[in-house]
Structure 1
Amino acid sequence: MKFSWMLTVLQNQPILQLRDFENKIEYIRNVVAQVMKDIFLLGRGELFLSFIDMADILMKQSPTSTTQHDINVAFRQAMIKIAMDHEELAKQFELTLSLPPVQSSGVSLKSKMTNSWKYVGMSHKVSWPLHVVLTPATLEKYSALFHFLLSLRRAQAYLQQCWATLMTIRTGAHCLQAVWQLRTHMGFLIDNLQYYVQVDVLETQFSQLLNRIKSTHDFEAVKVAHSDFVKTLQSQLFFTEPIRRCVYEILELCFSFSELIQTLRREEFVFSSKEQEAFHRISVDFRRQSSLLFRVLSAAKNHHSAPHIAQLLLRIDYNRYFTNLS
């Protein structure tokens, strides 16, 4: 591996140049931090859009014994497609499927699973000396963050696909108006959540992490800075109840809406009675859940005096839409 080679070269020098050593250590720290952000935190958005496109059909099926291998093949292909930098380091990441355990009766729950996306996570093969910072517990937190961020990215991608599908429909205006309205409301909320996550939280916190790493040569201080970084991400990315549950309910409704629209690939947009019933249920549930999200975020902002939540509320409450609903 490149990093090991760099340190070996330094070790074999007759006289150790301290400045050269410090520069290489800082380079390693920054590159590792960047790759962690690119993979675990979806910093390379084009990589995961490509992966979603390649793996979506497979992942929308029940998991099999080969699913995990197959999605990692798709992930490597997506890396190649975008010419991923630091390829050797990126190879230490592997997608995982955290399937429920076998029941006490000995019957697997796989037969009840209809979508592998619900169980996807990310693991990382940690090399010395990063094992001190990236402990198993920390990697579990990163995997949970990855799952949430990938779910949000999928919702955004699916809604964009719905837009493309709806643009091809020429008739059925009576039903179409309500469908367009729901898709617009979903897209507005998801786009603003995505902006909040990527810009207000991830970019801001990652920049602060790099500054703290650069300002110290003490490994223990790096550990503390990284621990604070992960805790802040969990706090600001809806990992507390009831916000977490509410956000995931909204994402599931976006997935259900997308699935409904993508099955209607026909020129004339006419719902069957069953489809109309499903659409109505999704529409009512989305309105209720999005209004609930606004209320719980408002309560969290008032209770914790959180400026990041205040900024998100300002964006999603455009024209005081949710304020008037409440």
Structure 2
Amino acid sequence: MLHELLFALSGYPGDVFVPYPPHPEQSFTFAIPSDFPLLHPAERDSLNRLGQLGWIYAQLKAFTTSVKNGKQTKDVASHGAYIQVLVTTLEHILNDYRHDILDMEKRILNKEDEAGGGVVPISLLISKLGRWELLLPALHTFVQKLQMEPQRYHGCRLFDLLMDQARSGISELRECMEKMIMQLHDVLYRQLTAWMVYGQWVDPDAEFFIMRCTNPKSTAGWQRHYDLAKDRIPKHLPLSLAESILFVGKAIATVSQMDDTPVLDDEEEDSGMTKSNVLVKKRRKIPIPEDMKKRHLQLLLSLHSCHTDDKQRMSPWIVYPQQLQQVVQKIRRSTADWLFSRVLVGDHGLQKYLTLFRKMFLLGYGDLATNLVDVCSMWRYPEHERRKRNKNTMVFRHQELNALLVKASVATDIEDQLAGYSLQIVANDNIRQTEFRFSDILIADTRCILTYDMHWPIDLFLSQADLAHYIELWSFLIALKTVQVSLSKLWRILRGGNVQPIPEENDEDDYRERVVWRLRSHMLFWVDSLWSHVQANVISDHYQNLVEAIAPSFEGANTTKLKRRSFVVKALDFEEIQAAHEGYLQHILRGCLLSSPTCPEVMHKILQVCLDFCAVVERVAEDGAWQRSKRRKTVKTAAEIVNEWTENFGETTVQYAWIDQIMDMEKSFASLTEQFFELISNQSQTVKSSGRLDILLMQLDYNKWYSGKRYR
């Protein structure tokens, strides 16, 4: 009986302990048959408890064997480094169980635990295996979860399952899970070492949370090769940490590929290569400093030594991310500073990019913005409205738009600096409601944005979020410029056909004319005030502050400029310059009131009312009604007056029906501008200070136009 019991505990059934229920049903334990004689019910229950341990051990052993032998089945997780390490750790745990079985067999053979007459108490055997009665079933449950959802818990996703299981009241299970977590972190650290130190991406089983881009043509520059697989990032690692790991590895990988790529000659440049690839391959070789590699390697190796400390009893999901984040931040800062000093220099200097973005996205080139508004206004009427919106015309329309951008740049300072910039039409279903809210102003009924092809090396510094902020600012500023130009052009229309005043003025015609001129004046004053505030008080000031903050970082050894200052400004490192640039964008967004949840909607409505007003006046001018209202009046006879009021009764009312639309627009404009004034008056002090809103309020309310109405 004892030999049969030892065989069963080792995972092998026999004549006494058989699989239950019997074949063909699925067994779930080893048990003594019900017809087995000479056993007390208490003895049978105790032996069946031990048989259950043997059956669970057999299942765990079968699982480890299948993974070790590389047998791919639907019930076994996909093979890879992480699952192999997990199985190896599980085997070490099962070896402890086998060691206890062997020790029990030795004691039985040496008759150390006999109670007399060669009898070994079953209770003694159960007590010796007591810890396994809790641990093995818990491990079996863990393995079952792993087998039921192999894709969900594959690679780095195994961390989530292990940490969920480690939150247990069973101390033995917690220790086992922590051992597995520690071993899996070793695999992760090896991957991080290859990626962050040598720029090598080694992931044949799709386990790492960094992946190769499946569609490299969809992005530009170094972004085309690698990206984050966010569904693979373990829950205990923050997204910002994963992004830092991606940044360092991509930078090292890109520079390493430059080292391996020969410089192209002119014939190779004329081949079908993309522009961004030519840019990368034409860069001079940049050797990665060996001392930097060694320093980064030592930092990553220190993580292994930290985790071998047995005195560390903190939860792994707390201490491991903290230690890893400290190391990654040091490596990121070191890598970024090196790139900043070796890559973002010369023709690709950061100051050059910032200056060009200031002039393009923030409309520093005023003549380009005005020309673009003019050519777009001629393009959209009437050809644009007659076009059918289908896939075949979209490519053509994009080409037309970029041809307009080139046309607008002719004879301007930006004419030869449009590389990477393009106008794009964005479908409504591809953007969020709060994204690019002013993109439909430049071209009626069409969302148009200015974008930039983020290639190496500027995408080391700028993120896609930064580019989205620039696009949002451009959409707002070009919308404001469009309305300003449209209102300014009305002067020629309204002055057209004018003659010298005569004594016999028509009061009604004079009233209509005053209404139109008055509304145009109010609209143009509001638009000009907002435009001058944004350009002079917001963009110009904050841009100058940014330039002064980062200037010491570029002056280097040249300290002649610094000597003239009464104080020395500290040179910023790469990440501090990034933070300064992000703050610069946030200040401008606040100054343009784009960070407010309500102000953009009100401003959009105001600009739309202004455009509607311009459209009505242009239509009236085209119909000739405006010229008729300004035509020289002649003295009518009594008969002509009677005939006009009898035969043509009501014709005058229909002829001047457009004035009702103008009056409605005036009321709407007044209501919206009052609402806008109230909104910016109630902004927080932080927003007011950042956006210089006090100056805007004074400009809009210089004669108590709005505040006087509020307190009546």
Q: 1:154 to 1:115 in 2, by over 3 A?
A: closer
Q: State the match for 1:35 in structure 2.
A: 356
In structure 1, what is the Cα distance between the partners aligned to 2:368 and 2:708?
39
Matched, 1:190 2:527: yes
Deviation at 1:58, TM superposition (A): 2.2
Q: 1:325 to 1:164 in 2, by over 3 A?
A: farther
Q: State the match for 1:140 in structure 2.
A: 468
Of the two structures, which has the highest relative contact order with CA contacts closer than 8 Å and spacing of 6 or more?
1
In structure 1, what is the Cα distance between the partners aligned to 2:428 and 2:534?
28
Instruction: After TM superposition, list the pairs within 5 Å mapping 1:206-221 onto structure 2.
Output: 206-216=543-553, 218-221=573-576
Q: Which stretch shows the higher mean deviation, 297-306 or 53-62?
A: 297-306
Aligned with residue 488 of structure 2, among 160, 164, 171: 160
Q: State the match for 1:131 in structure 2.
A: 459
In structure 2, what is the Cα distance between the partners aligned to 1:121 and 1:236?
21
Please say if residues 133 and 226 of structure 1, whose CA atoms lie closer than 8 Å, have aligned partners that are also in contact: no
Normalised to the residue count of structure 1, the TM-score between the two structures is: 0.83
Q: Aligned with 1:300: secondary structure?
A: coil
Q: Aligned with 2:703: secondary structure?
A: helix
Q: Aligned with 1:292: secondary structure?
A: helix
In structure 1, what is the Cα distance between the partners aligned to 2:444 and 2:407?
19
Q: Aligned with 1:264: secondary structure?
A: helix
Counterpart amino acid of 2:693?
I
Please say if residues 35 and 90 of structure 1, whose CA atoms lie closer than 8 Å, have aligned partners that are also in contact: no
Deviation at 1:134, TM superposition (A): 2.1
Q: Which structure has the highest helix share of the two?
A: 1
Normalised to the residue count of structure 2, the TM-score between the two structures is: 0.40
Aligned with residue 236 of structure 1, among 576, 580, 591: 591
Q: 1:194 to 1:117 in 2, by over 3 A?
A: farther
Aligned with residue 268 of structure 1, among 593, 611, 628: 628
Deviation at 1:273, TM superposition (A): 4.8
In structure 2, what is the Cα distance between the partners aligned to 1:117 and 1:55?
13
Counterpart amino acid of 2:707?
T
In structure 1, what is the Cα distance between the partners aligned to 2:592 and 2:425?
22
Deviation per residue, 1:5-42 (Å, 9 max, x gap): 9x957979xxxxxxx97995598222211111111111
Deviation at 1:55, TM superposition (A): 1.7
Q: Aligned with 1:318: secondary structure?
A: coil
Deviation at 1:301, TM superposition (A): 5.7
In structure 2, what is the Cα distance between the partners aligned to 1:46 and 1:114?
16
Matched, 1:299 2:682: yes
In structure 1, what is the Cα distance between the partners aligned to 2:284 and 2:360?
28
Provide the alpha-carbon RMSD of the alignment. Answer: 3.0
Deviation at 1:115, TM superposition (A): 4.9
Q: State the match for 2:172 in structure 1.
A: none
Please say if residues 487 and 524 of structure 2, whose CA atoms lie closer than 8 Å, have aligned partners that are also in contact: yes
Q: Which stretch shows the higher mean deviation, 38-47 or 162-171?
A: 162-171
Q: List gaps (5 residues or longer) in structure 1.
A: 13-19, 103-112
Deviation at 1:167, TM superposition (A): 1.7
Q: Which stretch shows the higher mean deviation, 225-234 or 199-208?
A: 225-234
Q: State the match for 1:91 in structure 2.
A: 419
Q: State the match for 1:250 in structure 2.
A: 606
Matched, 1:55 2:411: no
In structure 1, what is the Cα distance between the partners aligned to 2:672 and 2:497?
28
Greater CA radius of gyration, 1 or 2? 2
Please say if residues 205 and 229 of structure 1, whose CA atoms lie closer than 8 Å, have aligned partners that are also in contact: yes
In structure 2, what is the Cα distance between the partners aligned to 1:181 and 1:132?
51
Instruction: After TM superposition, list the pairs within 5 Å mapping 1:72-87 onto structure 2.
Output: 72-84=402-414, 87=416
In structure 1, what is the Cα distance between the partners aligned to 2:344 and 2:662?
58
Aligned with residue 673 of structure 2, among 290, 294, 299: 290
Q: Aligned with 1:245: secondary structure?
A: helix
In structure 1, what is the Cα distance between the partners aligned to 2:442 and 2:353?
36
Q: Aligned with 1:215: secondary structure?
A: helix
Q: Which stretch shows the higher mean deviation, 54-63 or 252-261?
A: 54-63
Q: Aligned with 1:321: secondary structure?
A: coil
Matched, 1:281 2:664: yes
Please say if residues 301 and 310 of structure 1, whose CA atoms lie closer than 8 Å, have aligned partners that are also in contact: no
Please say if residues 59 and 117 of structure 1, whose CA atoms lie closer than 8 Å, have aligned partners that are also in contact: no
Q: State the match for 1:224 in structure 2.
A: 579
Q: State the match for 1:108 in structure 2.
A: none
Please say if residues 487 and 520 of structure 2, whose CA atoms lie closer than 8 Å, have aligned partners that are also in contact: yes
Counterpart amino acid of 2:597?
E
Deviation per residue, 1:64-115 (Å, 9 max, x gap): 5232221110111111232426x2x42211111112239xxxxxxxxxx995
Q: 1:22 to 1:131 in 2, by over 3 A?
A: closer
Q: 1:258 to 1:302 in 2, by over 3 A?
A: same
Q: State the match for 2:434 in structure 1.
A: none
Deviation at 1:310, TM superposition (A): 0.7
In structure 2, what is the Cα distance between the partners aligned to 1:280 and 1:115?
25
The aligned length equals 304
Q: State the match for 1:69 in structure 2.
A: 399
Counterpart amino acid of 1:49?
T
Please say if residues 363 and 477 of structure 2, whose CA atoms lie closer than 8 Å, have aligned partners that are also in contact: yes
In structure 2, what is the Cα distance between the partners aligned to 1:120 and 1:94?
10
In structure 2, what is the Cα distance between the partners aligned to 1:53 and 1:26?
32
Please say if residues 162 and 258 of structure 1, whose CA atoms lie closer than 8 Å, have aligned partners that are also in contact: yes
Counterpart amino acid of 2:670?
R
Q: List gaps (5 residues or longer) in structure 2.
A: 1-274, 288-340, 431-440, 500-508, 555-572, 631-653
Aligned with residue 314 of structure 1, among 698, 703, 708: 698
Instruction: After TM superposition, list the pairs within 5 Å mapping 1:173-184 onto structure 2.
Output: 173-184=510-521
Please say if residues 133 and 223 of structure 1, whose CA atoms lie closer than 8 Å, have aligned partners that are also in contact: yes
In structure 1, what is the Cα distance between the partners aligned to 2:529 and 2:456?
39
Please say if residues 674 and 706 of structure 2, whose CA atoms lie closer than 8 Å, have aligned partners that are also in contact: yes
